[in-house]
Amino acid sequence: MGLFDIVNRAGLLDPRRVPALATATARWGPTVAAPYAASALATPGGLALIDDHGDVTFADLDRWSSRLAGGLHRLGVQRGDHLGVACRNHRDFVELTVAAAKAGIGVVYLNTSSAAPQLADVMAREQITALAIDAALLNLIELDGFDRPVIVADRHTNEPLDARVHTLESVRDQRGLRLPLRASLPIPPVLLTSGTTGTPKGARRSNKLDPNAATGMLDRIPFRHDDVTAITSPLFHAWGLAQMILASTLGSTVALTTTFDAEATLAQIQREQVTVLAVVPAILQRLLASPALDDTNLSSLRIVASSGSALPVPVVEEWLDRVGPNLYNLYGSTEVGQASLATPDDLMAASATAGRVLAGSTVAILDSNGEELPAGEVGRIFVGNGAQFEQYTGGGGKEVIDGLMSSGDVGFMDDRGLLFVTGRADDMIVSGGENVFPQEIEDLLLSHPAINDVAVVGVEDDRLGQRLAVYAVKAPGARLSAAATKKFVAENLARHKTPRDVHFVDEIPRTATGKIRRNQLV
C-alpha cells in the first residue's frame, strides 16, 4: 500500500484536519500539544478521552491544558525544567502531558508501582523541578523533606491537604500574571526502564522524527481516525504512551481506566464499542482467565495490539481461537524503539513469531564477534531505526555495532523473514553446561490447563552450576503436583530443560508492563 493510501485510510487527509493540524503545529511546534489542539479546531465536540470519571472533549482538553501550562509557569516550573508525573491512566495524565508540551517543560514519567525509596532515588537522579502525583499515591512522598512543588492529581474528595501541596485544579485556575505561551521544539521525555533487577534507569528518547516508522506501523496495523482505543497498559510506559500519542495524531478517542480490572475492561469494550485494545501480555492472560470473556460482545474489536514483554505462545493460540484473528504483536523496547510486528496472519502461521521487520527499522542477528548470522541461527538481536533512545540519564547506553543497538535479547530470523525471540540474554540459565532460556519452558507450562501463570529461574547448584526452578500459579480449583509438573516438561522438552524444583505460589511478581521480576523469586 502506498503512502497516500495509508494516510488516507487512517483519516489523516480529512479536509477539516489538514488545515487544523497546520495551524496547531504553527502555534505549538512539533509537540504532542499540536495534534490535540488540531482536534479542538477540527472537531471541538469530539471525544478526546473516556475515563472512570466521564467524557472529555478535545475542546475541553485544549482549554484546560493551556490554563494548566500557564499555572505551571506561575508555580515556578519554567521552560526547560522537568516535571515528574506519577499518575495512573486517567484524564489528568493526558492533561499534564499536553500542558507540559505547551509550557516547554520536559516530563519524567514515573512508575506508579514504585516503592517510596525507589521513587525518591529516581526523582533525585532526574532532578525534577516539581512533582505531579495521584492523590492515592501521595503517601509515597516524605513531604517534610521534599522542597519542590507537589501537584495532586486524580483527587475526588474534599478532605484537606497539606499546605505544601496544590491540587491540579488550583494550579490550573490560579490567578496572577499570565505569561504568553510560545511554541517550542519538543523536549525529549524521560521514560523509565522496567527495573526488573533494581532501580529503573531513565531513558531519554530522541526528538528525531521518523516518518517511515509511523507509516510502517499504520501500514501493518489498520488504525483509523474513528477508532476508540482502550489503553490498558500504563501510560507512563513507552507502549501505552505511544498508543496515546498515535490516537492524538489520528484524532481518535482514548478510553482509560485508572487501574486494570479484567471484568471492567471487558464491560468497557462492549459499552463503548472499543475498536482497538492496547495491552501487555499479562493483561491478555487475565482477560482469557476471566469468566466474563465468553459472555462479552467483542465484535467491535478490530485490533488487539500487544507489546511490552514476551507474548507466550499458549496465549496467542488461545486468543486467536476464542476471540478471533485480531491480535498484533509489536517487538521493541524503550531503548531500541520498534523493531518488528506480527500480524494476525503471521501469528496464525507461526504463533511464536515476533513478526516481520517494520519499515524504517533494521534488525540483524549477530554472533559474539558482531558478525551477522544466517537464517535459522540463534544470536544477539540488534536493531536500528530513527526512534531509539539517546542514552540513560545516569550515563551509559546499550551496545552499538555498525549503527545497530543491542536489544538485550537473543533469537533468530527464519527464511521467510519472520523474527523469533528466544529469550533475554540476561535470563539465560547455564545448567550442566547446557544453555537454557526460560521462555520455552514457560510457554510449555502455560499450555497446561492447571497452570495460570509461571516463571522459570536458575538456582545455584554445586554440581550443575545452576538448576531449573519453576514457580507456578495454579488455575482455581486445579490439582497438580510437583512430580506431575516435572513429568509434563520431561515428556515435551529435552532432558536438560526439566526443572529440578517446583514451587506453587499465589502470584508471579511482575513489573507494570508484565515482565517477570525473576530476582524476587530466587
- DSSP strand pairing (419-424 vs 404-413): antiparallel
Query: Distance (Å, rounded) from C-alpha 483 to C-alpha 501?
Result: 9
340 neighbors 358 (Cβ within 8 angstroms): yes
Cell 476464542 sits on residue: 322
449 neighbors 515 (Cβ within 8 angstroms): no
Q: What is residue 211's predicted lDDT score, i.e. its pLDDT?
A: 60
Q: Phi, psi (5° rounding) for residue 113?
A: -100, 10
Torsion from C-alpha of 287, 289, 291, 293, nearest 10 degrees = 30
Q: Does 58-203 match 428-520 in CATH topology?
A: no
* DSSP per-residue letters across 171-189: HHH--S--PPP---PPPPP
Q: What is residue 195's predicted lDDT score, i.e. its pLDDT?
A: 57
CATH code for residues 428-520: 3.30.300.30
The 10s digit of each residue's pLDDT in 358-404 is 988 999 999 999 999 999 999 999 999 877 776 777 767 789 999 99
Q: What is residue 176's predicted lDDT score, i.e. its pLDDT?
A: 63
The pTM of the whole model exceeds 0.85: yes
Distance of CA 18 to the CA centre of its chain: 29
146 neighbors 122 (Cβ within 8 angstroms): no
The 10s digit of each residue's pLDDT in 23-54 is 999 999 989 999 999 999 999 999 999 999 99
* Three-state DSSP class for residue 153: strand
Query: Distance (Å, rounded) from C-alpha 256 to C-alpha 154?
Result: 13
Q: Look up residue 57 and give its three cell numbers.
A: 472533549
Q: Which of 238, 135, 136 is nearest to 192 (CA)?
A: 238
Q: What is residue 193's predicted lDDT score, i.e. its pLDDT?
A: 73
CATH says 58-203 is which class? alpha beta
Q: What angle do CA 260, 266, 271 make, to 5 degrees?
A: 115
Cell 540488534 sits on residue: 382
Q: What is residue 323's predicted lDDT score, i.e. its pLDDT?
A: 96
Q: Which of 350, 431, 424 is nearest to 380 (CA)?
A: 424
3-state SS, one letter per residue, for 118-152: HHHHHHHHHCCCEEEEEHHHHHHCCHHHCCCCEEE
Which residues on adjacent β-strands are paired with residue 47? 57
Q: What is residue 177's predicted lDDT score, i.e. its pLDDT?
A: 59
Q: What's 364's DSSP letter?
A: E
Q: What is residue 205's predicted lDDT score, i.e. its pLDDT?
A: 61
* Three-state DSSP class for residue 430: strand
Query: Distance (Å, rounded) from C-alpha 82 to C-alpha 84?
Result: 6
Count CB atoms within 10 A of the CB of residue 219.
20
Q: What is residue 521's predicted lDDT score, i.e. its pLDDT?
A: 87
Q: Which of 215, 300, 249 is nearest to 48 (CA)?
A: 249
* DSSP per-residue letters across 243-280: HHHHHHHHT-EEE--SS--HHHHHHHHHHHT--EEEE-
Q: At what angle do helices 313-322 and 281-289 cross, to 10 degrees?
A: 50
Q: Where are the domains of the chain?
A: 58-203, 428-520
| Per-residue pLDDT tens digits of the chain, which is 522 residues long | 777 788 888 888 888 899 999 999 999 998 999 999 999 999 999 999 999 999 999 999 999 999 999 999 999 999 999 999 999 999 999 999 999 999 999 999 999 988 888 888 888 888 999 999 999 999 999 887 788 999 999 998 777 787 779 999 999 988 765 666 876 677 778 887 765 555 677 876 654 445 666 677 888 999 999 999 999 999 999 899 999 999 999 999 999 999 999 999 999 999 999 999 999 998 999 999 999 999 999 999 999 999 988 899 999 999 999 999 999 999 998 788 889 999 999 999 999 999 999 988 999 999 999 999 999 999 999 999 877 776 777 767 789 999 999 999 999 999 999 999 998 888 889 888 888 889 999 999 999 999 999 999 999 988 888 999 999 999 999 999 999 999 999 999 988 999 999 999 999 998 877 888 888 887
Q: What is residue 108's predicted lDDT score, i.e. its pLDDT?
A: 94
Q: Look up residue 14 and give its three cell numbers.
A: 480529512
Query: Distance (Å, rounded) from C-alpha 404 to C-alpha 363?
Result: 8
